[in-house]
Amino acid sequence: MSDKIEYLTEFLGGDYKKEGEYPAWEYREQSPLREHMIEVYQDMYQKAPRVEAVHAGLECGLFYEKIPGLDCVSTGPNLWDIHTPQEKMEIASVRRVWEYLIQVLATMR
């Protein structure tokens, strides 16, 4: 899509510059790290986490580009209106994520 926009912009005499592009990071059906994180979450919170694949640029793509086959999982605090002047973060969720990540690391085999 970006190539098409670039072509059209240049065809019409404009300049095109893209920034902040993240490399692709594909969802893996088999992910030992994700399974471990799900198990830890269920142990800590007595419920299943929400696991979803999203179409977005995430930092995991940068790591995956350098280490092909890397098992990556992205997690973080509750955020709303990301990349807008109204962006918000739930402070309490930062502590929950921190405690969760500490437990994930402490129980890795």
CATH code, domain with 7: 3.40.630.10
User: What is residue 9's three-state secondary structure?
Assistant: helix
Cα Rg of the chain (Å, integer): 18
2-61 per-position pLDDT tens digit = 788 888 999 999 998 877 677 778 888 999 999 999 999 999 999 999 999 887 778 888
What domain range includes position 47?
2-106
Interacting residues of 26 by C-beta distance below 8 A, sequence separation 6+: none
Total structural domains in the chain?
1
Whether the per-residue pLDDT at 99 is higher than 80: the answer is yes
Q: DSSP strand E in the chain: where?
A: 79-80, 88-89
Phi, psi of 79 (to 5 degrees): -130, 150
CA distance 108 to 24: 26
What's the confidence (pLDDT) of residue 33? 97
Whether the per-residue pLDDT at 83 is higher than 90: the answer is no
| Residue 79 DSSP label | E
